[in-house]
Chain A
Amino acid sequence: MLLGILLLGVVVVLTLSVTTGTVAISPQYVWSSIATHLIGQPVAIPAAEDQIVWSVRLPRTMLGILVGAALAVAGTVIQAVVRNPLGDPYLIGIVPGAGLGAVMVIVLGSGALGGLSITAAAFAGAVIAFVATFALGRQQGRWPATRLVLAGVAIGYLISAFTFFLQTVATPGQLQRVLFWTLGSVSGATWEDLPALAITVALGMLWLVANGRRLNSLAGGSELAGSLGINVGRFQLQLMALVALMTGAVVAVVGGIGFVGLMIPHLARLLVGADHRRVLPVSLLGGALFLPLADIVARTVLPPTEIPIGVVTAAVGAPFFIWLLAGLGRGGERA
């Protein structure tokens, strides 16, 4: 029921997102353009509109959906692994690592990094930071929650020191690009950005839902999870490698978008409780709903300027989150 509503919401937001822009396009045009390209229906709308829908707004919206879904799912998993409600891709060094990679390319130039693109450098940075965090957080073949968080924070600060240093030697033009990268954007999306991300999210999600019960048992601590027959070290590594892959791929394409990975999992838990078999799908759809919505706001609030999507996710998300925390989660019983 809830999943159905959320899925419907995603479709509505998708339609809204594609209709909205400098040139308003009717929902009918949107869907007939999609039908044209997907099932070969004869073209029934003007070519200019079709071009805007299919080549510009739809890939952008789809990217937003995938990014929101991936970040929300990643946040859910990180929170379960570190047993900490503040878990998100920032906390374990992934986003700071991607940031350093991107900033290096922006400030030092692609040539200084062997011709790496911003996307490739950001992904490499995310993976390196994740590996460093996990190497530091390891203790006796497992990753104790507190140690992992401390390792992530330490690595994050270390990386940020380099990032900030590079910013002090950057030109104003470079700084502007760094700022926009740091706060994230789904503009400039192309269809080529989507397949790898879609496959990663889909396969990752399938595996995670199959492991929902085992994720639940991590909440009791690694010793308890071990007594339930889980090879805790290996499971933690699998989970976090998947998370690093998902968020690394996302962040490399769209930059740092905060708050989604932190907030959406909590919203999902407020709606359906803590059981990961329900939280994961609800998080996925919640993220897929929220991010394109934030993108609509980002490009309509101050036309013709687009504000970074990270500004919107924080500005819209935080008050909503505070309201929810204040009002909900007090009941002792859930049907």
Chain B
Amino acid sequence: MRVHAEQVSVEIDGAHIVEFATLTASSGSLVGIIGPNGSGKTSLLKTLYRAVRPSSGSVWMGDADLWRLSARESALRASVVLQDDSSEFAFTVRETVETGRVPHKRLFERTGESDNEAVEQALQTAGVIGLANRLLGTLSGGERQRVFIARALAQCAPVMILDEPTNHLDIAAQIDLMELLSSLPLTVITALHDLNLAAAYCDQLYVMAAGRVIAHGPTADVLTPTTIEQVYGVAAHCGINPLTGRTAITFSPRLPHPLSNKNHTEKAQP
């Protein structure tokens, strides 16, 4: 399912958090949103899963205007993985994943065969079937994140939205997670901090700074030393990871340059 945000702005208590952001994720693609802290990534995502209503602009899920759908209808279109949200209470992995079936159920409707199948399938795909009876609190961060992805999968929605899913994960768990995301036959939109993960896995990238989308397009076109220096204020070198053949980026403090204070477009590559 295609996701399209058109000229979306978010204003909270008079502060312009997101300004006129336009984003398109074609069906089945993996789209990354990158940008420094406070650039509006999370707020833009929130407008895609109805947590924040845009002050202007519109969001389309397929051919439906997201904000004209009911909460339930929108939940059947898009699932969400938030930053670690485990609660005080000791839910098992399976119970957690089962909540993904909530939008498919009416009040007093019992769990059916299709629910059990969806949950099994989700546990399987996310690679946590062996953990099904474990308590959420006893898992590692990477395992827990996979459980939340399994819950989103159990929702059987064609779109999945994630907010920095690799945060606090060790390198192996980060790679596992991105491999999993890129293998899903869904439209996946994720905010990411790690530019190398974005470079290696995303089909399209949106770069945000100060609430605006300042660059977007195929990952290789967007992730240039110039853009990185402009957005993050660090020098970058884009090379090739000899192990994978994908783009690898290395960073250093901004190189001393007589004009570099204002003129970000100066050549940053040594």
Contact = CB atoms under 8 A, between A and B. Distances in A.
B71 A273 contact: no
A221 to B, nearest CB: 5
Interface of B: 46, 49-51, 70-76, 78-80, 82, 85-92, 95-96, 98-103, 105, 107-108, 133-135, 138, 155
Given A227-B75, A228-B75, A231-B71, A214 B102 contact: yes
A230 B104 CA distance: 11
Contacts of B71: 226, 229-231
Given A211-B107, A213-B105, A216-B99, A228 B155 contact: yes
16 contacts: A210-B107, A213-B105, A216-B98, A217-B99, A219-B87, A226-B49, A227-B75, A227-B79, A228-B99, A228-B102, A228-B155, A229-B70, A229-B71, A229-B73, A275-B92, A331-B135
Interface string A195-217: 00000000000000011011011
B81 to A, nearest CB: 9
Contacts of B98: 213, 216
Interface of A: 79-80, 83-85, 210-211, 213-214, 216-217, 219-221, 223-224, 226-231, 269, 273-275, 329, 331-335
Given A224-B80, A229-B71, A273-B90, 7 more contacts: A83-B88, A213-B105, A216-B99, A228-B100, A228-B155, A229-B72, A274-B90
A226 to B, nearest CB: 6
Interface SS majority for chain B: mixed
A230 B107 CA distance: 12
Contacts, number: 100
Contacts of A80: 89
A231 B46 CA distance: 16
Nearest to A84: B88
A158 B150 CA distance: 45
Contacts of A220: 82, 85-87, 96, 99
A211 B108 CA distance: 8
A229 B89 contact: no
Nearest to B102: A228
A273 B62 CA distance: 39
B12 to A, nearest CB: 10
A219 B98 CA distance: 13
A5 B198 CA distance: 55
Given A228-B99, A228-B155, A223 B51 contact: yes
Nearest to B72: A229
A275 B93 CA distance: 11
A5 B134 CA distance: 26
Contacts of B70: 229
Nearest to B106: A210
A224 B102 CA distance: 12
B100 A274 contact: no
A217 B108 CA distance: 16
A331 B133 CA distance: 11
Nearest to B89: A274
